[in-house]
C-alpha cells in the first residue's frame, strides 16, 4: 500500500509536468504493485486454501493482460525485481505463519512473474524490432520524401532555367537573324562597290598593245581592296602604276578610287612625261583632299606606289617609287639576272620630310621582264612554321620561273601562295591585299 500511495503521488506530480516518460514509468509500477499486492493480501488473509494453481494462473493472465493493455513497459526492473521485492517483504512479514506449502505457492508466484517477464521481454523486443523497422521505414520514407521534394525543386529550377535558356536562344536567334540580314546587306553593298572599283581599274588592252606578254595577280583581302593598278596610253608612251593604299577594306578602297581619279587628271594635263613629277603632283592632291597638315601628323593616310612610263618605240623605261621597289629580269645574258630598283623612302601623303621624288631611267631589251608588286605577297604568313614568305623567297620564285611564259608564271605564283596559306598542318587567312603586275618586253 505504501508503494502504491507513493506511486500515485509521483504520478500526480509528473502528470501536471507533462513528462510522458516518467508518467509511463510510475504507471507501470502502480499496475504491477496493485496486482501483486492483491495477490499477497489474498495469500496472507485467506491462507493457502484459497490459493490454487488456477488462481495463480488467473493472476498471471490478469497481470499479462494488464501489461498488454498498458503496452508501455520497457524496463525489466518493473516486471522482475519490483514484484519479487514486494513478495519478499510479504514473506518476511509473515514468516512465522508460513508452511512448506506456502513457500511452494510463493515459488509459483515468482515463477509466474518470471514467465510473465519473459513474455513481456520477448513481446517488447518484437515490438521494439517492429518499431525500429517502422522507424527505419519512416526515415527512408522521410528521406524519399525529402529527395522527392529536392528533385521537384531541382526540376522546377531546371524548368525555370530551361525557359530562360529557350528565351535566350530565341533572343539569340532573333539577333542572329538581324545580324545575318545586316551582313547580307553589307555584303551586297560591298559587292556592288567591288564592281564599281573593278570598273575603274585599267583594262588589259593597254598592256596587250604595248607588251608581248603580261599578267596581273589581284587578290583583295576583303571584298574591296586598297591595292589598285592603273594605266594610260599617251602616244608612244604607256604609263602604268601599282599602288598600296593605307590599310585595307572599305577605307583603303576609297583612297584607291581617289588615287585612280587623281592619276587620270594629272597625266591628262601633263605635256612632258616625267614619272617623278606625277608622284609629286599626286602627293599634293592627296594632302589637299584629306586636309593633311604638318601640325596634325596623325592623319597619314595615303599610299605606297610604283609608277612606270615605257616608250614603246625606244624601249626606254622611267621608274619612280614611294616606299616601293621593282624587279627586272635581264635576259640579255646567257643566265638570267635579277635587278632590284628601289624607290624613295617616302609615302604619297603628309610626311616629316617631303623631298621631290626621284626617277630612274633604264634601257630595256627584248625579253626583259618587269615586276611591280605590293608587300602583301611577301608578308603573307603560312607554311609549316607560320612564317612570312619574305622578299628573298619571292625574288627566287620570280627568277627561277622567269623562263616560263607569263601565264604560266602567274599560275606558279598563285599555286605557291595557296599552298603556303593552306599547309597540311595549319591554315592561315590572307592578312593583306596582294597585287602583282608583270610585263615582258
Contact 370, 326 (CB under 8 A): yes
- pLDDT higher at 384 or 127: 384
**What pLDDT is recorded for position 269?**
86
pLDDT at 72: 46
DSSP string, 9-75: HHHHHHHHTT-HHHHHHHHHHHHHHHHHHHHHHHHHHHTGGG--HHHHHHHHHHHHHHHHHH-----
CB 370 within 8 A of CB 356: no
d(CA 236, CA 389): 38
Distances (CA, A) of 209 to 49, 204, 214, 237, 314: 156, 9, 11, 11, 15
Measured distance between the N- and C-terminal CA atoms of the chain, rounded to whole angstroms: 144
Question: What would the mean pLDDT of 15-19 be, rounded to a whole number?
Answer: 49
Please give the helix or strand (H or E) that residue 203 lies within, else none. none
Mean pLDDT value of segment 235-261: 90
Task: Round to whole Å and give the CA distance between 226 and 78.
Answer: 108
Residue 73 is predicted with a pLDDT of 45
Quick check: 150 pLDDT over 50?
yes
HSE-up of residue 383 (Cα within 13 Å, Cβ side) = 11
Of the given ranges (13-17, 104-108, 115-119, 305-309), which has the lowest mean pLDDT? 13-17
Please give the pLDDT value at position 88: 64
**Residue in the block written with cell 603628309:** 350
pLDDT confidence tier of residue 40, bands split at 50, 70 and 90: low
Instruction: Assign 202 to helix, strand or coil.
Output: coil
Query: What value does the mean pLDDT take over residues 301-326?
Result: 95
pLDDT of residue 129: 58
Percent of the chain residues topping a pLDDT of 70: 68
Cα 121 to Cα 77: distance, rounded to the nearest angstrom: 11
Task: Give the C-alpha separation, 392 to 396, whole Å.
Answer: 6
Between the ranges 17-21, 53-57, 135-139, 195-199, where is the mean pLDDT highest? 195-199
Cβ burial of 135 (10 Å; 0-12, 13-18, 19+) is: exposed
Q: Is 113 exposed, middle or buried (0-12, 13-18, 19+ CB in 10 A)?
A: buried
In which band, very low, low, confident or very high, does the pLDDT at 114 lie, cut at 50, 70 and 90? low
Mean pLDDT, to the nearest integer, of 414-421? 95
Query: pLDDT band at residue 141, thresholds of 50, 70 and 90?
Result: confident
**What mean pLDDT is reported for the chain?**
79
Other Cβ atoms within 10 Å of 224 Cβ, number: 26
122 alpha carbon, distance to own chain's centre: 66
Confidence bin at 142 (pLDDT 50/70/90): confident
Q: Of 46 and 145, which is predicted with more confidence?
A: 145
Residues 26, 75 contacting (CB under 8 angstroms): no
Q: What angle, 0 to 180 degrees and rounded to 10, lies between the N-to-C axes of helices 100-200 and 81-93?
A: 160
The sign of the CA dihedral 50, 55, 60, 63 is negative
Does residue 127 surpass a pLDDT of 60? no
Q: What is the value of pTM for the model shown?
A: 0.63
pLDDT higher at 73 or 156: 156
Count of CA atoms in the C-beta half-sphere (13 A) of 215: 16
pLDDT greater at residue 105 or residue 155: 155
pLDDT for 420 beyond 90 = yes
Average pLDDT of 311-318?
94
Long-range contacts of 185-191 (CB under 8 A, 24+ apart): 187/223, 190/222, 190/223, 190/224, 190/250, 191/223
Query: Residue 54 — pLDDT band, cuts 50, 70, 90?
Result: very low
Check residue 50 and give its pLDDT. 42
pLDDT at 308 exceeding the cut of 60: yes
Between CA 235 and CA 212 the distance in angstroms is: 18
Question: How far apart are alpha carbons 432 and 326 in whole angstroms?
Answer: 19
* CB-CB contact of 398 with 329 (8 Å): yes
Per-residue pLDDT tens over the stretch 337-362: 899 999 999 999 988 888 999 999 99
Q: Which cell goes with 247?
A: 590599310
Burial class (CB in 10 A: 0-12, 13-18, 19+), 433: buried
Q: Report the range of poorest mean pLDDT among 112-121, 220-229, 328-337.
A: 112-121
Average pLDDT over residues 119-138: 58
Segment 357-384 shows an average pLDDT of 93
User: What gap in Å lies between CA 188 and CA 192, rounded to an integer?
Assistant: 6
What nine digits make up the cell of 70? 498498458
How far apart, in whole angstroms, are the C-alpha atoms of residue 430 and residue 342?
26
DSSP strand pairing (316-322 vs 360-363)? antiparallel
Q: Among the listed ranges 98-102, 127-131, 281-285, 384-388, which one has the minimum average pLDDT value?
A: 127-131
Q: Between the CA atoms of 33, 34, 36 and 37, what dihedral angle is there, to the nearest 10 degrees?
A: 100
Three-state DSSP state, 241: strand
Across-strand partners of 230? 241
> Who wins on pLDDT, 356 or 12?
356
pLDDT tens digit sequence for 382-412: 998 889 999 999 999 999 999 999 999 999 9
Highest mean pLDDT among 25-39, 93-107, 269-283, 328-342: 269-283
pLDDT(294) > 70: yes
Res 57: pLDDT:
53
Locate 381 and state its grid cell. 604568313
Amino acid at each position: 500500500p505504501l508503494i502504491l500511495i507513493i506511486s500515485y503521488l509521483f504520478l500526480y506530480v509528473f502528470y501536471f509536468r507533462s513528462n510522458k516518460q516518467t508518467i509511463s514509468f510510475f504507471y507501470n509500477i502502480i499496475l504491477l504493485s496493485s496486482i501483486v499486492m492483491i495477490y499477497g493480501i489474498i495469500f496472507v488473509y485467506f491462507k493457502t486454501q484459497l490459493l490454487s494453481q488456477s488462481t495463480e494462473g488467473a493472476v498471471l493472465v490478469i497481470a499479462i493482460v494488464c501489461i498488454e493493455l498498458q503496452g508501455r513497459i520497457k524496463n525489466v526492473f518493473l516486471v522482475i525485481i519490483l514484484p519479487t521485492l514486494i513478495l519478499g517483504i510479504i514473506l518476511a512479514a509473515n514468516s512465522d505463519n508460513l508452511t512448506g506449502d506456502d513457500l511452494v505457492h510463493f515459488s509459483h508466484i515468482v515463477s509466474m512473474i518470471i514467465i510473465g517477464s519473459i513474455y513481456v521481454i520477448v513481446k517488447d523486443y518484437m515490438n521494439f524490432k517492429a518499431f525500429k523497422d517502422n522507424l527505419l521505414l519512416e526515415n527512408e520514407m522521410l528521406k524519399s520524401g525529402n529527395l522527392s521534394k529536392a528533385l521537384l525543386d531541382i526540376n522546377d529550377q531546371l524548368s525555370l532555367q530551361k525557359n530562360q535558356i529557350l528565351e535566350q536562344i530565341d533572343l539569340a536567334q532573333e539577333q542572329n537573324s538581324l545580324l545575318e540580314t545586316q551582313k547580307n546587306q553589307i555584303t551586297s553593298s560591298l559587292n556592288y562597290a567591288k564592281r564599281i572599283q573593278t570598273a575603274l581599274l585599267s583594262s588589259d588592252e593597254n598592256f596587250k598593245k604595248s607588251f608581248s606578254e603580261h599578267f596581273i595577280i589581284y587578290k583583295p583581302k576583303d571584298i574591296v581592296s586598297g591595292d589598285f593598278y592603273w594605266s594610260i596610253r599617251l602616244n608612244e608612251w604607256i604609263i602604268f602604276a601599282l599602288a598600296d593604299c593605307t590599310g585595307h577594306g572599305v577605307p583603303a578602297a576609297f583612297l584607291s578610287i581617289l588615287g585612280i581619279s587623281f592619276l587620270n587628271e594629272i597625266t591628262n594635263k601633263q605635256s612632258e612625261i616625267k614619272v617623278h613629277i606625277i608622284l609629286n603632283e599626286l602627293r599634293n592632291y592627296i594632302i589637299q583632299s584629306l586636309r593633311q597638315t604638318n601640325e596634325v601628323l596623325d592623319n597619314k593616310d595615303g599610299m605606297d606606289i610604283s609608277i612606270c612610263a615605257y616608250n614603246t618605240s625606244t624601249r626606254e623605261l622611267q621608274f619612280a617609287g614611294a616606299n616601293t621597289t621593282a624587279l627586272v629580269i635581264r635576259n640579255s645574258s646567257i643566265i638570267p639576272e635579277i635587278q632590284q630598283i628601289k624607290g624613295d623612302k617616302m609615302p604619297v601623303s603628309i610626311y616629316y620630310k617631303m623631298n621631290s621624288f626621284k626617277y630612274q631611267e633604264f634601257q630595256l631589251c627584248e625579253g626583259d621582264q618587269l615586276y611591280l608588286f605590293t608587300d602583301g605577297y611577301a608578308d603573307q604568313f603560312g607554311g609549316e612554321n607560320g612564317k612570312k614568305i619574305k622578299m628573298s623567297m619571292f625574288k627566287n620564285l620570280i627568277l627561277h620561273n622567269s623562263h616560263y611564259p607569263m601565264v604560266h608564271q602567274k599560275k606558279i605564283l598563285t599555286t605557291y601562295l595557296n599552298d603556303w596559306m593552306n599547309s597540311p598542318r595549319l591554315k592561315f587567312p590572307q592578312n593583306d591585299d596582294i597585287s602583282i603586275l608583270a610585263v615582258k618586253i
